Structure 1
Amino acid sequence: MATPMTPAQWRAALTAEGVPFTELDGWTTRGRDAATGNVFGPVNGVLNHHTAGVDSLNLIAYKGATALPPPLAHAYLPKSGVLVLVAAGRANHAGPAAKNAFDAIVAERTIPRPNKATGTVDGNDRLYGIETEGLGDGKDTYTRRQYDTWVRFNAAICRHHGWGAGSAAGHLETSVEGKPDPAGPVEGYGRRGRFTLTMTQMRADIAERLAHPASWSPPAPQEADMPAYTNLGIAQPYQLAPDAMEPIAFTAEWTDEAGDHPAGSAVFVKGAARFTGLIGLVFTGLPVGDVVQVRMSEYEGDTFKADHPVHEIIGTAGGTFGIVPLVKRLGAGRSMRVRLLNQAAAPITVKSAVLSALVWKEG
């Protein structure tokens, strides 16, 4: 049980925890205290919600919902991750909280399924509330930055009051009306990739923050998420017959940091991945003005799926050199092959073929 934070304490706690925030005009005096005769506080925890809508600030701060005058939360968190302080006083966000769930939050115990038969507590009097923008439909995704701010917000309040992560709860954990929030997929957090939001996971992330100084930040994504440099070449020069469509076998002088390049194959990258780079080709014996076409195609196994734009390298005196750009994304299970078509009347020599690219593996 604690006294609600003053505006100055809000600012200090959020700033120390690294929460990016703005202040909505009038937030320091906005609340339902005078209108209801119920003074906000003492407070016992933080209740987390999703908006089930988009661009909900106006609704939360000014418009309200059916039979619920504004404000509908103390803070609003959009996809940008920049928190908006909405109200310092009582807000219509929690409604009746099952007493068995509320008592568990106060004691920082495992929260049981809310049971109306145990009685109810007016959560609007006793809990801070945050509305985080998300549809809660299982598809709309909380951004990485948004979730990071969400965790920091909860930790800032808990740290200020000397609470543990058990003082943070979701509306679905207290509601006697069957509220489902917060829910939905999260883009990622720290070194963790995409995951499904649960309050158990959020409390674990809040607890991790509280175990460190307020200035702490979670580790950045692992280097596996960073691009790997790839340099591929052919083992030796070879003859390319006229009108023959032959793949380039990139098998020599290459590194395989990204793990996407099977040896002894014409395949140079496998999905799911993004890549960008260049292929440098050197031909001898290609008559001036004649053409070698460079074709890139996508396959699933040995099944052709799609052609990329065709590039043409035109013969010049004294040997021919050409650069072919690569900028593409490959879906999971697909691979890329490069083939050459000699349109001259006689065989030519592929003296060199070197691929240099950055490859981003995707999960």
Structure 2
Amino acid sequence: MSTPMSAARFLQALRNEGLTVVTTPGWETRNRNHKGPWGPVHGVMVHATVTGPKVDGVRICRDGYEGLPGPLCHGVIRRDGSVHLVGYGRTNHAGSGDPDVLRAVINEKPLPADNEATTDGNRHFYGFECENLNDGKDPWTPAQLEAIEKAAAALCRVHGWDERPVIGHLEWQPGKSDPRGFTMPAMRDRVADRLGDKPKPAPKPTPTPKPYVPPVFPAGLAPGRTTPSARALQRVLKATGFMPKATPEADNYGPVTEASVNRFHAAHPQYRAAGKTYDPNIGPRGWAYLHRLAYGR
């Protein structure tokens, strides 16, 4: 048993499904509730207006006609796929139908053939009238079929129904033929596919890499000196191609290391001591740049 959602929730459900929804003034309280109960609701019924493209189906479904006062549904689905809300509550759309069909809808079971018209459908179904001549020749536009699928799925999603409570008028009341031009089993398959598409989780933000920070320039690092930091200098010179990789590492800042540093300065003279053409001495700025060349990202 499902309590009808509020008019505001109904509107939001349709928009959440990606539909273009147009509201007519006063739709939220336009209904036939004074003629009978509204709810519990068990499904969604699809109809055809039996009108051509030059007829204002929205006006007819809002106001009704002689012998059948409006509203004649909750929403009108136009050929362009827009959904126009004309009423909310009990509306004159389903009429009397088969109690066995209603039981199947409630239990989400396959529908039996409709052969009785003894059960109030206006009480138990949301209804959408879809603009079409219903002659089997008037084409259903892709936008309109998609809107039917979305509208039905939106309401099923709110109530926790699967696709089986979505039925056509012809499956409810003997003698009815709408909708004609597509099959309700095919539409239920579309609704099932849509309900099965779970919202995709938002992509995880790509972490911003931390900027590379070179190691602090070691005190005492200078040509001719023996210090463990000479090995670190040799490793970074190898990593950047300024020292042959086969050169053994040593604590001694000797001639091979000096020549390698000078090659670095020749390639990047901005780090060479001013006025020198040969500079074997690595300074703090050159040390930092060497490390960024080798290990920076």
Give the aligned partner of residue 211 of structure 1: 196
| 2:59 is equivalent to residue 61 of structure 1 | no
By how many angstroms is 1:16 displaced?
Answer: 1.5
Assess, with a 3 A threshold, how the Cα gap between structure 1 residues 215 and 129 changes in structure 2: closer, same or farther: farther
Assess, with a 3 A threshold, how the Cα gap between structure 1 residues 7 and 214 changes in structure 2: closer, same or farther: farther
Give the aligned partner of residue 183 of structure 1: 180
Equivalent position amino acid for 1:61 in 2: R
Residue of 181, 184, 189 corresponding to 1:199: 184
By how many angstroms is 1:214 displaced?
Answer: 5.9
Equivalent position amino acid for 2:163 in 1: A
Structure 2 counterparts to residues 21-36 of structure 1, below 5 A: 21-34=21-34, 36=35
Q: Which has the larger radius of gyration?
A: 2
Residue ranges of structure 2 left out of the alignment (5+ in a row): 202-297
Assess, with a 3 A threshold, how the Cα gap between structure 1 residues 31 and 144 changes in structure 2: closer, same or farther: same
Question: What per-residue deviation string (whole Å, max 9, x for no partner) do you get for residues 103-138 of structure 1?
Answer: 11111111111121xx62100011110000011111
Structure 2 counterparts to residues 93-172 of structure 1, below 5 A: 93-116=93-116, 120-172=118-170
Question: What per-residue deviation string (whole Å, max 9, x for no partner) do you get for residues 225-269 of structure 1?
Answer: xxxxxxxxxxxxxxxxxxxxxxxxxxxxxxxxxxxxxxxxxxxxx
Question: What per-residue deviation string (whole Å, max 9, x for no partner) do you get for residues 61-90 of structure 1?
Answer: 01x134211000000011111100111111
| TM-score in terms of structure 1 length | 0.53
Structure 2 counterparts to residues 311-350 of structure 1, below 5 A: none
**Does the CA-based 8 Å contact 1:18-1:215 persist in structure 2?**
no
Structure 2 counterparts to residues 226-245 of structure 1, below 5 A: none
Instruction: State how far apart, in whole Å, the 2-side matches of 1:122 and 1:212 are.
Output: 33
Instruction: State how far apart, in whole Å, the 1-side matches of 2:17 and 2:57 are.
Output: 25
**Does the CA-based 8 Å contact 1:77-1:84 persist in structure 2?**
yes
Give the aligned partner of residue 10 of structure 2: 10
Question: What per-residue deviation string (whole Å, max 9, x for no partner) do you get for residues 122-175 of structure 1?
Answer: 000111100000111111111111111110000000000000100100000010
Equivalent position amino acid for 1:111 in 2: L
The answer to which structure has the higher strand fraction is 1
By how many angstroms is 1:102 displaced?
Answer: 1.2
Instruction: State how far apart, in whole Å, the 2-side matches of 1:140 and 1:123 are.
Output: 27
Residue ranges of structure 1 left out of the alignment (5+ in a row): 185-196, 217-363
Instruction: State how far apart, in whole Å, the 2-side matches of 1:206 and 1:165 are.
Output: 6
Assess, with a 3 A threshold, how the Cα gap between structure 1 residues 134 and 74 changes in structure 2: closer, same or farther: same
Give the aligned partner of residue 270 of structure 1: none
Give the aligned partner of residue 275 of structure 2: none
Structure 2 counterparts to residues 16-95 of structure 1, below 5 A: 16-34=16-34, 36=35, 38-54=36-52, 55-62=56-63, 64-95=64-95
| TM-score in terms of structure 2 length | 0.64
**Does the CA-based 8 Å contact 1:138-1:183 persist in structure 2?**
yes
Is the partner of 1:130 in helix, strand or coil? strand
Identity %: 40
Give the aligned partner of residue 311 of structure 1: none
Structure 2 counterparts to residues 254-273 of structure 1, below 5 A: none
The answer to which structure has the higher helix fraction is 2
Instruction: State how far apart, in whole Å, the 1-side matches of 2:74 and 2:60 are.
Output: 13
**Does the CA-based 8 Å contact 1:16-1:215 persist in structure 2?**
no
The count of residues paired between Structure 1 and Structure 2 equals 198
Instruction: State how far apart, in whole Å, the 2-side matches of 1:69 and 1:75 are.
Output: 15
By how many angstroms is 1:204 displaced?
Answer: 0.3
State the Cα RMSD in Å.
Answer: 1.5
Is the partner of 1:182 in helix, strand or coil? coil
